[in-house]
Amino acid sequence: MFGQLEHLLCQDPAGSRRCKIQDTVHLGHAALLYRQRDQMLLFDPWLLPWFAESSVPSLWGPLLPKPAAVFLTHDHDDHVDPRTLLHLPKDTPIIVPSRRNRRTLSYDYLSLLRELGFGRVIELAHGESWAFEGGAVYSVPFYGEDPCDLEMPRNCYLIADRGYNVLVHADSGPTNSGKSALKDGVIQSLAQKHGPIPLVFASQQQLLEVRGHAAHAPLSHPGKWLDVGENGYLTNEYLADVCAAAQAKLFVSYATGGADWYPDHLSFMFSQRNPARTALLTAHWERPETLKELLVKHGCGYHYGHALDLFRRTTDGLVEPLTTGEALTPLSLYRLDHGDPPFMNASSHTTPSREIAQGPTMTTRKTQHSPILVTGVAGFIGFHTATRLLERGERVIGLDNVNDYYDVRLKKARLAKLKPFKSVLIHEARSGQSGRNEEAVCEATNPARGPSGGASGVRYSLVNPHAYTDSNIEGFLNILEGCRQAKVEHLVYASSSSVYGGNTQMPFSIHDNVDHPVSLYAASKKANELMAHCYAHLYRIPCTGLRFFTVYGPWGGLTWRCSSSLRRFWKENRSRSTTTERCSAILPISMTSLKE
């Protein structure tokens, strides 16, 4: 893999090979990969196994070249991750903070790493170095992120590589007593000894908290438990001064998330999954963007780090942030050695992208030997799905029971719109007709199936509950059985936002508990998700459920509130010509399609 990854790292977006060495890649959170000639150095790797914490593929150890060494800065669980270390080759040197720098207590790296199977654990005291050809990585004192003043030994690192320097500052910052790398002259002495440090990686967190809340509170004096202490309090002014002392050209804000595959960790400054907690934590923080204004005064740029960003030294002594695009996505790295992973369509040869890496989608296939089955093809979503598939040249088999939940004429009008396509075949069958449903699935021997044709609507489930068990439970089971028999490549089915039921936490998340439905419709959709999960587990059928919220647009159902309101508005105002003309332009096409 290394030769191919080397080729990827050495290419800039224009395709020129300007720099073959000294690239730094952000792997998410505080994880960094530095390319030193023909070897890779890893810093604070947090590389989760695929789907361990999220529904998207993630970067993990076996996807990357064997590191020449791994450097750990400090003892927090987002910097020393046992699962990551467990997947790394056991002959890899692991460089850790040294017990020689302790005041009273120290983290027992040796016991942990030896239990994980590592035999080469190197303690690097402040000022000591780990050498490589043409340079070395130096241990630099780590301050702060220590609300209880335990002063356990921790390291920052300086990469000094043939005149090019990179500072891995991590979460280090001023202590409760005011000590810091600036006040003690550490940064200044590094620049004086090794020259300017063009690239600086540091966190922008500004955490102040009651010391009793910290994990190590019982180790501090009880009289201080209610005092407020820093837990990584790096103001914009402090970071700007660090960059000025380092003579930096680019500051990279990192170690606060930066990838979709991480869990919702407390140290993530800006969480997409829990905005309420983020707002609470950061309410009194300085705006991160204001640091950019302070850095300009020192001739330094600002970049907020995202996973797979690459930082490259330029010929004029600056550092350029580049996006690696598709080249270093987890799927791309997996395919270098293994081809398509098992959970993907085996016949798909599309180029991987960040969009694909962020979740399953229906991808364009170069081969069209197998049709795609779309159930509920006479319904609103199924009709539009089938139309889009046909327009892009796919062969479609449509299945629908054409029930009278709403005006059948609208459903038949939709089907009539599909019939002019030569590559569509429509079947009508009740949901309970297992033989007919399974026959249709088997006929579409490769169904990347569209939305399920189950019964929709919350209120109707209260009036006719048996229709829902017949369509959404028995009908869905028939589809699953057909998928099993036909050995389908991918099942995409429609769930509903109604499964969130009595949830009050906003915004909704796929990680929310959905065990409290408030309608039979919601219960039937939750049952669909559980049934699909079971078949995916038992028969290895790749399944993707889509929790639709309110969906509207052309050819929408006549029972929609918006359609009813528009029809009423049109009727009340039809004597006003200008209003009538405007309403005719926005009325659902279904109003005129029945006349056609």
Contact (CB, 8 A) for 345 and 297: no
Q: Is the pLDDT of residue 450 over 50?
A: no
Contact (CB, 8 A) for 209 and 202: no
Q: Is the pLDDT of residue 571 over 70?
A: no
> What number is the average pLDDT over the span 342-367?
41
> What number is the average pLDDT over the span 413-441?
69
Residue 407 CA to residue 422 CA, distance in Å, equals 27
> What number is the average pLDDT over the span 512-539?
87
Q: Is the pLDDT of residue 479 over 50?
A: yes
Residues 6+ apart with CB under 8 A from 335: 341, 352
Q: Which of the two residues, 160 and 218, has the higher pLDDT score? A: 160
Contact (CB, 8 A) for 554 and 414: no
Residue 586: its pLDDT value, please?
26
pTM value is 0.60
Of 298-307, 465-474, 515-524, give the lowest mean pLDDT range: 465-474
pLDDT tens, residue by residue, 144-179: 999 999 999 999 999 999 999 999 999 999 999 999
pLDDT-derived band at 487 (thresholds 50, 70, 90) equals: confident
> What number is the average pLDDT over the span 255-280?
71
Residue 68: its pLDDT value, please?
96
> What number is the average pLDDT over the span 180-202?
97
Backbone φ and ψ for 397, nearest 5 degrees, come out as -110, 120
Q: Is the pLDDT of residue 369 over 60?
A: no
Q: Is the pLDDT of residue 577 over 50?
A: no
3-class SS of residue 274: coil
| H/E stretch holding 138 | strand 135-141
Q: How far, in Å, are 413, 557, 558, 573, 583 from residue 591 at the CA level?
A: 11, 10, 9, 16, 11
Q: Which residues pair with 495 in a beta bridge?
A: 547
Of 112-116, 322-326, 445-449, give the lowest mean pLDDT range: 445-449
Q: Check if 535 is active-site.
A: no
DSSP result, 103-118:
SS----HHHHHHHTT-
Strand 543-548 relative to strand 490-496, pairing: parallel
Per CATH, the architecture of 2-333 is what?
Answer: 4-Layer Sandwich (3.60)
Residue 459 CA to residue 221 CA, distance in Å, equals 60
pLDDT tens, residue by residue, 378-400: 888 888 888 888 887 788 888 88
Mean of per-residue pLDDT scores for the chain: 79
Sequence-ordered strand ranges (E) for 191-328? 199-202, 206-210, 228-233, 250-253, 301-304, 309-313, 319-323
User: In CATH, what number does 360-548 get?
Assistant: 3.40.50.720
- Catalytic residue from among 34, 143, 157, 521: 521
